[in-house]
Amino acid sequence: MNDMKDFSEFEKKIGVEFKDKNLLKQAFIHRSYLNENPSLGLSHNERLEFLGDAVLELVTTDYLYRLYTDKTEGELTAYRAALVNTISISKVATTIGVNEFLLLSKGEAKDIGKARQYILANTYESIIGAIFLDLGYEAAAKFIAETLFPSLKEIISNRLWQDAKSYFQERSQEYVGVTPSYSVLAEEGPDHEKHFTVGVFLRDELVARGEGDSKQEAEQDAARNALLAKEWNGHDMV
C-alpha cells in the first residue's frame, strides 16, 4: 500500500471537513507502515487512538445515561461495553470505508483476520481523536452519534449486551426444560490461527451454528444465533 490516497473522499463519506488534513491522514497510519516509510514525516496513530478511546467512552456514557433514565449502573455498563467493543466498532469502521484508506505495511495489509478487526477498531478511535483535536468535542460526538449509535438498536433487541450462552440456557430451561450442549463441528487453519464452527444442541436438535477464532467465541455466536432461531431474544423484555 502507499500513502497516495485521497483522504478528501473519506471526508465526504463521513461528512466531516478537517482543517488540518495531516491529522486525518495520521489517524490511518499504522505503526508497521512507518517501518517501510520512515521519511513520511508523520507519526503513527496510537496517541490519537488513546485520545479517541476516552472521547468515545465519554460520549457513549453520556448518551446512554440520558437515553435510559430507568436503567441501573450495571445495565448501562453492559450496554456501553457491547456498543464500544472491538467487534462493534470494527463493523462500523468497515461500513464507513476505513479499510480503503488504511496505511499498513505490506505484511499487515495481507492480514484480513482478527488482526485486521483490531486495526479497524483502533483506527475508528484514532479518527475520533483526530476530529476532537481538529474540530472539538461536539464534532466528535456528532460523528460517533451518526456512525455508531445506530448499532444500539440491534444490540438491545438481540440482547447482544448480555452473555448469550447464559441467556440461551435460561430460556431453554424455562421454555423446554433442557440445558443446551455445544459441540465443535469444524476446525480450520493452523494451530496459531484456528477458526472454529460450533453447533448448539437441545437434546438431539441442532438449533444453530456459530463461528469464531476460539471455541468460546464460536459458542457465544452459536448461542446468539440460537436465540434468533428460537425467537427467544427477549424483544418484550427490553
3-state DSSP percent of the chain in helix, strand and coil, to 5: 65, 10, 25
From 125, 134, 219, 221, active-site residue: 125
Closest CA to 210 of 176, 185, 180: 185
Q: Which three cell numbers stand for residue 75?
A: 445495565
Task: Identify the three-state secondary structure at position 182.
Answer: strand
Residue type for position 38: P
Q: Which residues contact 124 (CB under 8 A, 6 or more apart)?
A: 52, 89, 90, 92, 93, 98
Residue type for position 66: R
Annotation marks residue 53 as catalytic: yes
How many residues in total does the chain contain?
238
Annotation marks residue 125 as catalytic: yes
**Residue 237, number of CB atoms within 10 A of its CB:** 7
Q: Which residues contact 70 (CB under 8 A, 6 or more apart)?
A: none
From 17, 36, 46, 53, active-site residue: 53
Question: Known catalytic residues?
Answer: 53, 125
